[in-house]
């Protein structure tokens, strides 16, 4: 008999909530057998476990669940690995382009932040100089204390 898993087993293994696993099931990513009274108990196969693992990997890559499902379902169809791999490459290329555009936007934001930091530091240094000049001038023009409190003749 092949290995089976409960919803709790998969939730624990992949650090997910049972609700998330049921959501993936609702999307058709997982197809557990139903057992028990009224089919209340879900029994997941090794195939379901693999599909869940692939779904989570696709999410980490930033793919949508629809994209993940399309790619995963290709492996359930008659094997034409060329078409499957091409579809996967196309999805990855589109996602890579999107991530690179986001990185360019983030780099532009970071560059702008750096410019504002330099400007703010320069203004702060300038304002500190303006404050310290009158203090330095006042200290320089303050009469020196006389010895013994008497004026020299």
Which residues 6+ apart lie within 8 Å of 10 measured at CB? 16, 21, 44, 48, 49, 52
pTM of the model: 0.62
Residue-wise pLDDT for 10-58, tens only, equals: 999 999 999 999 999 999 999 999 998 888 899 999 999 999 999 999 9
Residue 88 has pLDDT above 70, yes or no: yes
| pLDDT of res. 84 | 76
Count the Cβ atoms, other than its own, within 10 Å of residue 17. Answer: 10
């Amino acid at each position: 008999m092949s290995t089976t898993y409960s919803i709790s087993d998969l939730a624990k293994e992949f650090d997910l909530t049972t609700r998330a696993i049921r959501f993936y099931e609702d999307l058709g990513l997982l197809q557990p057998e139903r057992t028990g009274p009224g089919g209340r108990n879900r029994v997941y196969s090794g195939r379901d476990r693999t599909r869940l693992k692939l779904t989570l990997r696709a999410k980490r890559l930033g793919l949508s669940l629809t994209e993940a499902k399309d790619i995963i379902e290709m492996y359930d169809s008659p094997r034409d690995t060329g078409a499957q791999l091409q579809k996967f490459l196309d999805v990855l290329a589109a996602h890579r382009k999107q991530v690179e555009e986001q990185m360019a936007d983030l780099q532009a934001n970071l560059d702008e932040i750096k410019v504002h930091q330099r400007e703010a530091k320069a203004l702060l240094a300038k304002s500190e100089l303006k404050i310290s000049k009158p203090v330095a001038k006042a200290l320089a023009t303050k009469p020196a204390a006389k010895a013994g409190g008497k004026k020299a003749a």
